[in-house]
């Protein structure tokens, strides 16, 4: 879209050309074109400026309930009503975990994490970014269970 000043400049140019022409019909056409440019300039000048697009507000991350410990555990993950699939747990705490997987799961989805030697543990996806998911357990893991899973992962055995 043109600026009002550019349109007014075009209107002046048309008027100047019309002053130098002897043919009455051409002068009338040029004056109409000049009037059109002026009207467009006035319309644009009177319109509200377009809204400025702003980035969404930055929401600070919520503090974790407990510190995550880095791990490398092969586990399975399952969404409600779907089959389980392999996933790699990258960090783990009493309250949640981060997992890497080829499956994309939306925030807020209910999932079940099965760690080696344990029954499936229900959790909710708190965030997702690419193939990483951050989840919080519905109920925290007992500290002894967490320690056992981490110790087993360090030596490469099932819990």
Same domain, 77 and 149: yes
Q: Is residue 62 part of a domain?
A: no
According to the model, what pLDDT value does residue 159 have? 46
C-alpha atoms less than 13 angstroms from C-alpha of 91 in its C-beta half-sphere: 15
Q: What is the mean pLDDT of residues 40-56?
A: 66
Q: How far apart are the first and last CA of the chain?
A: 67
Domain interval for residue 143: 69-155
Number of domains in the chain: 2
User: Residue 2 has what pLDDT?
Assistant: 62
Same domain, 74 and 150: yes
Same domain, 76 and 147: yes
Who wins on pLDDT, 112 or 57?
A: 112
82 lies in a domain? yes
Question: In the prediction, which pLDDT does 155 show?
Answer: 64
158 HSE (CA, 13 A, CB side) = 7
Q: What is the pLDDT of residue 73?
A: 94
Q: Is residue 145 part of a domain?
A: yes
């Amino acid at each position: 879209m043109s600026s009002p000043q550019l349109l007014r400049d075009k209107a002046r140019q048309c008027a100047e050309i019309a002053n130098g022409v002897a043919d009455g019909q051409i002068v009338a056409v040029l004056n109409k074109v000049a009037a059109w440019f002026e009207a467009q300039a006035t319309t644009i000048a009177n319109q509200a400026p377009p809204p400025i697009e702003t980035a969404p507000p930055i929401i600070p991350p919520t503090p974790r309930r407990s510190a995550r410990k880095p791990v490398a555990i092969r586990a399975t993950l399952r969404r409600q009503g779907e089959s389980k699939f392999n996933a790699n747990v990258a960090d783990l705490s009493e309250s949640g975990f981060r997992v890497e997987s080829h499956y994309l799961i939306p925030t807020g989805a209910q999932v079940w994490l099965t760690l080696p030697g344990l029954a499936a543990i229900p959790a909710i996806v708190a965030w997702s970014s690419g193939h990483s998911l951050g989840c919080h357990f519905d109920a925290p893991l007992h500290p002894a269970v967490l320690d056992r899973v981490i110790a087993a992962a360090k030596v490469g055995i099932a819990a």
